[in-house]
Each structure stands twice: as structure tokens, then as C-alpha cells.
């Protein structure tokens, strides 16, 4: 979920920008290091940013009547690792702001933090944990992506609640309010995206395990359904 242009007050916009900056810098450093070993990875990361953008422009089939778009954060984190996702998310969010009027320039920092830092981190940790305790890959992916989406939406709600605390109830009441309002669209979205990612991975794992291995993925070769 993106915070629209101009919705956050100036101080919040600046602070979230400053918080996201080191993650983007770290991500760029990790990409640079990988590209030095394997130059063709630069193209892959650039092209994957475009892929994520296009994926996020697709309409998801409705689960409860609300129409939503996938974020691609969970998938990206599992494909590239959480670090590389911060710069990729920055590019995708910038394109979304300038080409689709989705999100904005002043809220870029806040949106990068929720979609490029928190979401991917949650997805990646859950995915690794699932692999560690040998859960079926499909289940692991579904849980990782769904919870990544939910954590992104909760982060956004926290950002909004911090910026606009309830006059009486303060931060907690505001958080309940924003999380409650956006839950209507975000919870179906998270479940849809989790399902979609599992389906997508099944197809990929079945037909093109080689391409996935290029990314250094800790995936089971037998496919996600196993």
C-alpha cells in the first residue's frame, strides 16, 4: 500500500527518507559486489525491476470484491534477497509515482521503508525459516508472501498513525483506525498475492529451475508443491 503524494507532513517525509537511505545504499553495495563477480546480473536486476513494475500493474482477481494490485515485494525478496530489494523497490516506486500517479515523491522514503525494507525482510526471514524447518515449499512461500504484504500494510498504518495521532486516543487509537480502514482492501490483497506467488513459483520451478538457480536461490528442485 502506497501513501499518496503530499499526505505525510514535511518532518515525517524527511525522517522516513533518512531512515530508508542507508538500506538503499546497502542494497546498492550488495548489488555492486554481485555484479563484479557476475556482470550479467546487472541486466537481470534492471530487467527484474521492470518485471516487478509490470506485475504490480496487473489487476488481481478479487477475493472479496475489492480490486487490488500485487506488490511483488515478497516475490522479489525471495528471488533476490532482502538487501537488493531496497534499490529495486525505490526504482519501482519512483516509476509508479511518475508514470501511474501511484505513491509520490515526497512519500517515497516512507513507501520504500514499508515496501522495500520491512516487507522483503519479513518475506525473506520467513522463507528461510520455512526452509530450515522443512515446511513444504508452497506453504512456506504462501505464508512468507502473505505476511510480507500484511507487514507492509501495517508499517504504512504505523507511519500514518505516527503522523496523525488521534486527538484523544493518541498513537494506538490512530493505528487501530488506519489499520482498520485499510484492512478492507489489504487483507484480501495479501491472501491473493500469496496464492498468486505460489502458482507462479510452481510454474517456474517445474519448467525452468535453471533460471531460478541463476539467482542463487535456495529452492527445492522438485517444485513448490512437494
Partner 1 sequence: MLLDHYAYGNRWRDLCPVEKGLLTGLALAASLAARAPLAAAVVFVVMAALTVVGARIPLRSYLRLLLLPAGFLLAGVAGLLLSLSGGDILLGTLPATGLAVYFSYAGLAQAVLVMTRALAAVAALYFLALTTPMTEIIGLLRRLRVPALLLELMVLAYRQIFIFLQIAREMRLAQASRLGYATTGNSFRSLGVLGANLYLRAHQRSQQLHRSLVSRGYENDLRWLERDYPRSNRNLLLATLVGGSLLVLALLLPA
Stretch that binds partner 1, among 61-69, 118-126, 131-139, 145-153 (CB under 8 A): 61-69
Give the nearest distance from C-beta 132 to partner 1 in angstroms.
25
Kindly state whether residue 65 participates in binding partner 1, applying the rule CB under 8 A.
no
Kindly state whether residue 201 participates in binding partner 1, applying the rule CB under 8 A.
yes
Kindly state whether residue 139 participates in binding partner 1, applying the rule CB under 8 A.
no
Q: How many residues bind partner 1 (CB under 8 A)?
A: 79
Residue 85: which H helix or E strand, with range? helix 82-100
* Burial classification of residue 164, based on how many CB atoms lie within 10 Å of its CB (0-12 exposed, 13-18 middle, 19 or more buried): middle
Map the footprint of partner 1 across residues 146-175, applying CB under 8 A: 160, 164, 166-169, 173-174
When the beta carbons of 124 and 178 are compared against partner 1, the nearer one is 178
Q: Which triple of cell numbers denotes residue 10?
A: 514535511
Kindly state whether residue 46 participates in binding partner 1, applying the rule CB under 8 A.
yes
Kindly state whether residue 31 participates in binding partner 1, applying the rule CB under 8 A.
yes
Sign of torsion over alpha carbons 71, 74, 76, 81: positive
| Cα angle: 95, vertex 99, 105; to 5 degrees | 60
When the beta carbons of 43 and 132 are compared against partner 1, the nearer one is 43
Kindly state whether residue 18 participates in binding partner 1, applying the rule CB under 8 A.
no
Give the nearest distance from C-beta 33 to partner 1 in angstroms.
11
When the beta carbons of 129 and 214 are compared against partner 1, the nearer one is 214
Residue 124: name the closest of 56, 57, 37, 30 by CA.
30
| Buried/exposed code over 38-54 (b: 16+ C-beta within 10 A; e: otherwise) | eeebeebbeebbebbbe
Kindly state whether residue 7 participates in binding partner 1, applying the rule CB under 8 A.
yes
| Cβ-proximal residues to 38 (8 Å cutoff; 6+ apart), any chain | none
- The conformation of residue 166, written as its DSSP 8-state character, comes to B
Stretch that binds partner 1, among 117-125, 136-144, 145-153, 208-216 (CB under 8 A): 208-216
Give the nearest distance from C-beta 72 to partner 1 in angstroms.
9
Give the nearest distance from C-beta 25 to partner 1 in angstroms.
8
- C-beta of residue 160 within 8 angstroms of C-beta of residue 179: no
Amino acid at each position: 500500500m502506497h501513501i499518496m503524494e503530499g499526505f505525510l507532513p514535511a518532518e515525517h517525509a524527511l525522517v522516513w527518507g533518512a531512515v530508508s537511505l542507508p538500506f538503499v545504499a546497502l542494497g546498492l553495495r550488495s548489488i555492486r559486489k554481485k555484479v563484479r563477480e557476475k556482470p550479467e546480473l546487472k541486466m537481470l536486476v534492471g530487467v527484474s525491476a521492470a518485471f516487478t513494475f509490470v506485475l504490480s500493474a496487473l489487476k488481481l482477481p478479487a477475493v472479496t470484491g475489492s480490486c487490488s494490485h500485487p506488490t511483488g515485494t515478497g516475490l522479489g525478496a525471495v528471488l533476490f534477497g532482502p538487501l537488493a530489494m531496497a534499490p529495486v523497490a525505490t526504482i519501482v516506486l519512483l516509476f509508479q509515482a511518475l508514470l501511474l500517479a501511484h505513491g509520490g515523491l515526497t512519500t517515497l522514503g516512507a513507501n520504500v521503508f514499508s515496501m522495500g525494507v520491512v516487507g522483503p525482510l519479513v518475506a525473506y526471514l520467513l522463507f528461510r525459516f520455512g526452509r530450515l524447518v522443512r515446511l513444504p515449499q508452497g506453504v512456506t512461500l504462501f505464508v512468507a508472501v502473505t505476511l510480507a504484504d500484511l507487514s507492509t500494510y501495517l508499517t504504512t498504518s504505523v507511519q500514518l498513525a505516527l503522523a496523525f495521532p488521534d486527538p484523544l486516543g493518541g498513537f494506538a487509537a490512530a493505528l487501530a483506525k488506519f489499520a482498520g480502514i485499510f484492512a478492507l482492501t489489504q487483507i484480501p490483497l495479501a491472501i491473493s498475492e500469496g496464492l498468486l506467488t505460489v502458482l507462479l513459483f510452481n510454474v517456474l520451478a517445474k519448467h525452468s529451475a535453471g533460471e531460478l538457480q541463476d539467482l542463487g536461490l535456495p529452492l527445492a528442485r522438485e517444485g513448490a508443491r512437494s
